[in-house]
Structure 1
Amino acid sequence: MIEPASYSATEVLRDGRTIEIRALRPQDQQALISALDRSSPQSIFRRFLGARHHFTEQEISYFVNVDFVHHVALVAVADENGKPVVIGGGRYIVIPRTAKAELAFAVVDQYQRQGIGAALMRHLVILAHNAGLEELVADVLASNTAMLKLFENTGLSMSTTRESEIVHVALGLSLPA
């Protein structure tokens, strides 16, 4: 059985660099804040569906202190000048009394379009499937075509509904017959 709290895998990016996809740790708090600080206002807007200039201590604690049962979070870590740096992250949060979880991602701008979101997605799907979840859901800005394309390319059954500028995405985790 896969243990989400100690999960770790290596991925090769489109440009040939190697990164680690691993479980978020409480000691990653400053690295996560630094990753957000390195992200553009547009990337923050896309991730949080609105402008954000800072996060409260309570929000930061919520993002960092996950239980790996109801709230699973992975980070992408790259080597920058011999130092491991968080360059992205993805998470799912189980919706109470369902077999569904809400999914979210963020990747630092300079690392976007290298396959990090797809890598995070693959690993979150493995963990979600292992946990017995049946569906992952996400709200995506209609203008965020890269994220919508990422979901389309997962190979999972996908349904969408649109409400104003938000696309509600549902991805089925059942294995094809």
Structure 2
Amino acid sequence: MPQLFPEAVARPLELAEANGMVRIRSACASDVENLSVYFTGLSVTSRNKRFMGARTDLASVAAECVAKAGRPDHFTLLAEFGQEGQRRIIGETHYAYDAAARHGEFAISVADAFQRMGLGFQMMNAMETRAIDLGHEMIAGETARTNAEMRGLAKKAGFSDTGLGDWQSVHLAKRLSHPR
């Protein structure tokens, strides 16, 4: 990885539309406050889509994302935008392996100003790569039936509707391909 982003878990990418570089990296304990600020900065619509409902305890959610990331089979990846020496979180994905169900579950969000630039797809690829490295074979998520953006992103990333959702939600899953 270029020295500009030494902690990156994926190749840094340039967002031409935003005139800056983005790195995707693992979250650490020092990210709690910035992750809380990020969650607070999401529009009400984006926050509701990320959490599948209203949440007011965003500082607690940020702390949980980072605290659980230290456990085996759990991680949070952050997308940071760098421009003129400044960096800020513009996306996150949280992953947790469910041993009983034998698949990983994830949640993802991208800051409103950075949506539809391919960042969500890049974050999902980084998450899948990390899950494969952990030896996981299946990854799943749930989204509201009304969340057309997430359903489209999941389809583009190779997820299928499992039919396990209810009248309000869609359950999506993907079998992970391990390199041979």
Superposition TM-score, scaled by structure 1 size? 0.86
Q: Provide, for residues 6-35 of structure 1, a one-character-per-residue CA deviation record: whole Å limited to 9, x for no partner.
A: 653312336263200001111011110111
Give 1:97's match in structure 2, choosing from 94, 97, 100: 100
1:35 correspondence with 2:48: no
Residue 63 of structure 2 corresponds to which residue in structure 1? Answer: 61
Between 1:8-17 and 1:62-71, the stretch displaced more is 8-17
Residue 8 of structure 1 corresponds to which residue in structure 2? Answer: 9
Please state whether the residue corresponding to 1:139 is helix, strand or coil: strand
CA separation in 2, counterparts of 1:71 and 1:82? 30
Residue 78 of structure 2 corresponds to which residue in structure 1? Answer: 75
Give 1:158's match in structure 2, choosing from 136, 157, 160: 160
1:17 correspondence with 2:20: yes
Q: Provide, for residues 130-177 of structure 1, a one-character-per-residue CA deviation record: whole Å limited to 9, x for no partner.
A: 1111111101111111111111111x3624323111001111113599
Residue 128 of structure 1 corresponds to which residue in structure 2? Answer: 131
1:107 correspondence with 2:110: yes
Between 1:134-143 and 1:10-19, the stretch displaced more is 10-19
Deviation beyond 4 Å, 4+ runs, structure 1: none
CA separation in 2, counterparts of 1:17 and 1:160? 37
Change (3 A) 1:14 1:98: farther
1:167 correspondence with 2:167: no
1:141 correspondence with 2:141: no
Q: RCO greater where, 1 or 2, for CA within 8 Å and sep 6 or more?
A: 1
Note the residue ranges of structure 1 that are not aligned, 5 or more in a row.
1-5
Change (3 A) 1:176 1:76: closer
Please state whether the residue corresponding to 1:163 is helix, strand or coil: coil
Q: Provide, for residues 59-114 of structure 1, a one-character-per-residue CA deviation record: whole Å limited to 9, x for no partner.
A: 43311121262211100000245311011101210002343110110111111111
CA separation in 1, counterparts of 2:177 and 2:161? 14
Counterpart amino acid of residue 102 in structure 2: A
Change (3 A) 1:39 1:78: same
Counterpart amino acid of residue 9 in structure 2: S
Check whether the contact 1:158–1:172 (CA below 8 A) recurs between aligned residues.
Answer: no
Superposition TM-score, scaled by structure 2 size? 0.84
Percent identical residues? 25
Please state whether the residue corresponding to 1:67 is helix, strand or coil: coil
Change (3 A) 1:28 1:174: same
CA separation in 1, counterparts of 2:90 and 2:149? 17
Check whether the contact 2:34–2:89 (CA below 8 A) recurs between aligned residues.
Answer: yes
